[in-house]
C-alpha cells in the first residue's frame, strides 16, 4: 500500500507521534456472520478490544499442543529454519513462525470452529491465516515483548489496508502473574498510535527478537492506560484470548522457572489482503505475513481425526 496523505493510518513518517481515531468497525456486519459468541461477549469484545475465554480447550488438548510445539523446538531441522527465532542473547527458542504448517495439531487448531468461527463472526467474512507462531517464553530467560499494536506493524511493514484482523492466543501452559502473561490495554483498539521514525529494510530480522521501530511513545501509552488501565490475561492452560489487531499489548519477561508457552494465530479477513508495504519497504517473508496462502480457512466439521 502506498503511504500517502490519504492513508488513514500513516505511521513512521518524519512527523511526531500522534493519536488517530480508529476509522474502522471493530465488529463487522454486526456479528451476524454465523458464529459462536453471545451478544454480551461481542459487546465486551467491541468495548474492550479483547475477550478472554477461560478453558475453551480441555487440559489434554492444550497438553497435546504443548507436546507438539516442544517437539518442534527440539528438532534441529526446525531450529535451523528462518521460522525459528532465538531469545535475544540466548539460545533458547523464543518463537516459531508458520507453526500451523509445521505441526499437525496446530494445523487442526487453526481450523477448529471454537476459534475460527469466532474470527469469522467478528470480522464478518471468511478469514485466512495471516500469521501463526508458537511463543515459548521459556523459564528463567524469556524476554519481554514491549508494547505494540500489531496493526501498526502489519499496516506499515506488510501493507495490511484496514483494521479487519484479530489475533487469538491459545494458552498452552498456565499464564500467571509470575511468568509474563499477555497484558492488554482495554479500549486502546479505538486509537491508532502513529509512531516516530523510519523503518530500515529487513527490519524483521531484528524486530522479532527486540523491537526498535514501530514502538509507541511513552506519552501515548500513558494516556491509553490512564483511560483504560492494563489487564493481565492470567488464566489456565486451554484458555484463549481473542484481541483486535489494534489493541495495545505487551508482556514482561519471565524469570520464573515455569515456561509461558502460547500459540498465536492471526486471522485476517479475505477482504483485507495485503498490498505493497509502506515507505517502499520490501515485503516481509511469507512465514511472517501471508501473501500467497490466502485461501479461506474451512472450519473442521469434526475434531476427532
Contacts with its own copies by CB under 8 A lie at 139-140, 144, 146-147, 176-178, 180-181, 183, 218, 221-222, 225, 230-232, 234, 250-258
Nearest distance, CB of residue 75 and its own copies, angstroms: 23
Nearer to its own copies, 81 or 178 (CB): 178
Nearest distance, CB of residue 221 and its own copies, angstroms: 5
Q: Grid coordinates 479487519 are at which residue?
A: 164
Nearer to its own copies, 14 or 226 (CB): 226
Nearer to its own copies, 43 or 252 (CB): 252
Q: How far is CA 89 from the centre of its chain?
A: 23
For the stretch 37-44, contacts whose Cβ atoms lie closer than 8 Å and that sit 24 or more positions apart, written own/partner, are: 37/118, 37/121, 37/122, 42/121, 42/122
Nearest distance, CB of residue 19 and its own copies, angstroms: 15
Nearer to its own copies, 19 or 183 (CB): 183
CA separation for the pair 241, 269 (Å, rounded)? 18
Nearest distance, CB of residue 145 and its own copies, angstroms: 9
Nearer to its own copies, 81 or 230 (CB): 230
Nearest distance, CB of residue 105 and its own copies, angstroms: 26
CA separation for the pair 247, 127 (Å, rounded)? 19
Nearer to its own copies, 74 or 293 (CB): 74
Q: Of 231, 236, 101, 255, give the one whose Cα is nearest residue 172.
A: 236
Question: Collapsing DSSP states into helix, strand and coil, what is residue 155?
Answer: helix
Nearest distance, CB of residue 231 and its own copies, angstroms: 8
Amino acid at each position: 500500500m502506498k503511504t500517502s496523505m490519504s492513508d488513514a493510518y500513516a505511521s513512521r513518517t518524519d512527523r511526531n507521534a500522534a493519536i488517530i481515531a480508529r476509522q474502522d468497525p471493530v465488529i463487522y456486519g454486526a456479528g451476524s456472520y454465523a458464529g459462536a459468541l453471545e451478544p454480551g461477549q461481542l459487546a465486551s469484545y467491541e468495548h474492550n478490544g479483547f475477550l478472554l475465554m477461560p478453558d475453551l480447550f480441555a487440559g489434554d488438548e492444550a497438553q497435546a499442543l504443548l507436546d507438539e510445539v516442544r517437539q518442534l523446538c527440539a528438532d534441529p531441522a526446525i531450529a535451523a529454519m528462518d521460522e525459528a527465532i532465538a531469545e535475544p542473547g540466548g539460545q533458547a527458542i523464543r518463537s516459531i513462525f508458520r507453526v500451523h504448517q509445521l505441526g499437525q495439531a496446530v494445523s487442526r487448531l487453526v481450523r477448529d470452529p471454537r476459534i475460527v468461527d469466532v474470527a469469522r463472526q467478528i470480522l464478518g467474512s471468511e478469514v485466512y491465516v495471516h500469521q501463526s507462531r508458537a511463543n515459548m517464553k521459556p523459564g528463567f530467560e524469556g524476554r519481554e515483548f514491549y508494547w505494540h499494536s500489531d496493526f501498526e506493524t502489519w499496516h506499515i511493514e506488510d501493507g495490511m489496508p484496514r483494521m479487519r484482523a484479530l489475533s487469538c492466543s491459545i494458552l498452552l501452559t498456565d499464564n500467571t502473574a509470575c511468568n509474563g502473561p499477555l497484558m492488554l490495554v482495554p479500549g486502546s483498539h479505538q486509537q491508532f498510535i502513529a509512531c516516530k521514525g523510519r523503518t530500515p529494510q529487513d527490519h524483521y530480522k531484528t524486530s522479532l527478537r527486540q523491537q526498535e521501530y514501530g514502538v509507541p511513545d511513552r506519552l501515548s501509552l500513558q494516556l491509553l492506560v490512564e483511560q483504560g488501565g492494563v489487564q493481565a490475561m492470567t488464566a489456565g492452560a486451554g484458555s484463549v484470548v481473542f484481541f483486535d489487531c489494534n489493541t495495545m499489548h505487551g508482556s514482561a519477561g519471565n524469570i520464573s522457572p515455569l515456561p509461558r508457552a502460547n500459540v498465536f494465530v492471526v486471522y485476517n479477513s479475505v477482504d483485507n489482503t495485503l498490498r505493497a508495504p509502506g515507505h517502499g519497504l520490501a515485503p516481509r517473508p511469507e512465514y511472517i505475513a501471508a501473501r500467497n496462502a490466502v485461501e479461506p480457512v474451512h472450519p473442521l466439521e469434526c475434531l476427532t481425526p
